[in-house]
Structure 1
């Protein structure tokens, strides 16, 4: 009966990813070409026995949506970020970057991302008040009761969407390129926002691949940790690079419940293939017409304030190097992850030269 447990864990992660896929559609990303990211990642995981799957990730979507003003800018940010991550993955420098910067500064950056997500959640609630505030209220209540992110995101998204449809008669007309089951080449562009966004996305993925990847590996109970961070980084980079040229959404490392299944590799592959089928047949696009973008507000708030911020802030503000880590946290929350990480790196090496504590 292992296969049934594997399948159930895969379905649970799919349910977690669907609202974030809807969030991707609300940002203008094409859904059909994104299925190839899931197919490619499932093939890599099957070939190498990797336990860490890829899926839609709220953090990367929120950051890309914030820094890119149009679909072309957003796909260009993803393409640029994936090129950077591919170089990091192929050269095996991911862990070296963390060794140089230190866990404190990396944790400060991730904690700042938590605050950034909370700000985005409140902004969504302000723009779509009925949907947004119902989503936040449901998310807070359900998380306090269950401490389970899958139930939190499912009930908050479904409940707030039903309220929007029933009370406001919500029905979105998604752009044709979002729902079209064909490929539309999107030529990358370069400007200051794209460069800044690509660097920020790469910084976010450095932290996410290490933290989420290792957490997923720990959930398997296998020692030493079975996650190959370089393989995970390279897979994610190639997947994003291809789909971004077709207007597709990014797929990144996540904390996946499939890792706790009896066969974590099989469960992860099941999850990605199920998601690929959902995208291929256009089921997500049909569902997205009745789910407002603000329905994700509650999940973003819980993810940022409760899940990401406390643990990372505790690491950043504990031990040595707290000044640089704290400033990294604040700058990331106010500006973006790249600026925060760069500021922290400079302070880490400059403050001691000036005889100041860090």
Structure 2
């Protein structure tokens, strides 16, 4: 009976990850190499008993796609960000970074990311003759208002908008060979100002995501103290991204996973990642992707950013002693990126008291 409950939880998270995997394909990431990340993370979780799985994450995909102009830049951003996170993980710096910056600034950065996602969702539809994205946002809004459930929100908004695209707008897309080919193709990382900024921004996003999403997943188990080892999670995520990015694959990051509420959260998380690995290895995701436009995920991005991430993090950011700095961090992150936002917040936190201004 436990096994069935674990499997159902795993399938629910897989359904949540598939549309974001389709989003990754839309950004040009290869499917086959990404199998490595899921297999690697499932092995680590099995060995160390971690309850926090990895999967496609809309936030990191949106940020990487926004800051990198082509696949090589995007994989270079992921590679650079994974090196930064590996150093943080192996040295155990994550709790120290949070201690120095303060939770308010981290929360402000995450709230700013929420606004970024909502804006990206709207921008996906501007200037487009297709109505698919707007239908996705409408269905997502209605579904979330009724159900308050992200799994139902993403499934219905993607399915309904995709059906509209295929049968009304006659959508069908042949994906590039680089996305669907079943072989490893080495992509040498490159460096420019945009890539450095993107890598730093992605690392800042992952610091916030590992802290908030990782701990939330741990809390869902009901086990005390919190069973999530943030350093192990950071190391696993960074090594998975480092390997797959060199082969053109998509990033997989920390998520809030319903597998944590299963009777056996470790087993359920491993099941989820192995099911996703099979879907990628077998080439089923590209077959689905031919009939699912990237704009079909606009509804989920909008609800995730504007309704789920922004309000909770903004409330936490603006409720403490450093609310002014946190608010500025929020706005700067939304306008630019997480690195600029968190750097601005850190600068103001230490500057303002020196010049006698209260925060």
What is the SS of the residue equivalent to 2:208? helix
The alignment's C-alpha RMSD in Å is 0.6
Deviations 1:288-334 (A, max 9, x none): 01111100000000000110000110111112111111110000000
In the alignment, the residues of structure 1 paired with residue 278 and residue 269 of structure 2 have an alpha-carbon distance, to the nearest angstrom, of 15
In the alignment, the residues of structure 2 paired with residue 336 and residue 213 of structure 1 have an alpha-carbon distance, to the nearest angstrom, of 22
CA shift, 1:174, in A, is: 0.9
- The match for 1:330 is 331
In the alignment, the residues of structure 1 paired with residue 320 and residue 211 of structure 2 have an alpha-carbon distance, to the nearest angstrom, of 21
**Structure 1 ranges of 4+ moved more than 3 A:** none
In the alignment, the residues of structure 2 paired with residue 228 and residue 327 of structure 1 have an alpha-carbon distance, to the nearest angstrom, of 30
What is the SS of the residue equivalent to 2:113? helix
What is the SS of the residue equivalent to 2:231? helix
The count of corresponding residues between Structure 1 and Structure 2 is 358
- The match for 1:62 is 62
- The match for 1:48 is 48
Question: Bigger CA drift: 230-239 or 318-327?
Answer: 318-327
Deviations 1:213-242 (A, max 9, x none): 000000000000000000000000000000
CA shift, 1:345, in A, is: 0.1
- The match for 2:136 is 135
- The match for 1:244 is 245
CA contact (8 A) 1:60 1:204 kept: yes
Q: TM-score, normalised by structure 2?
A: 0.99
Deviations 1:226-265 (A, max 9, x none): 0000000000000000000000000000000000000000
Deviations 1:52-72 (A, max 9, x none): 000000000000000000100
In the alignment, the residues of structure 1 paired with residue 179 and residue 104 of structure 2 have an alpha-carbon distance, to the nearest angstrom, of 39
Matches within 5 A, 1:18-29: 18-29=18-29
CA contact (8 A) 1:108 1:312 kept: yes
- The match for 2:104 is 104
Deviations 1:189-231 (A, max 9, x none): 0000000000000000000000000000000000000000000
- The match for 1:11 is 11
Q: TM-score, normalised by structure 1?
A: 0.99
Matches within 5 A, 1:212-251: 212-251=213-252
- The match for 2:182 is 181
Segments of structure 2 that go 5 or more residues without pairing to the other structure are none
In the alignment, the residues of structure 2 paired with residue 191 and residue 238 of structure 1 have an alpha-carbon distance, to the nearest angstrom, of 22
Matches within 5 A, 1:1-358: 1-128=1-128, 129-358=130-359
Question: Bigger CA drift: 228-237 or 126-135?
Answer: 126-135
What is the SS of the residue equivalent to 1:113? helix
Deviations 1:77-115 (A, max 9, x none): 000000000000000000110100001000000000000
In the alignment, the residues of structure 1 paired with residue 55 and residue 324 of structure 2 have an alpha-carbon distance, to the nearest angstrom, of 34
In the alignment, the residues of structure 1 paired with residue 253 and residue 80 of structure 2 have an alpha-carbon distance, to the nearest angstrom, of 15
In the alignment, the residues of structure 2 paired with residue 350 and residue 311 of structure 1 have an alpha-carbon distance, to the nearest angstrom, of 27
CA contact (8 A) 1:126 1:132 kept: no
CA shift, 1:127, in A, is: 4.4
Segments of structure 1 that go 5 or more residues without pairing to the other structure are none
In the alignment, the residues of structure 2 paired with residue 36 and residue 305 of structure 1 have an alpha-carbon distance, to the nearest angstrom, of 32
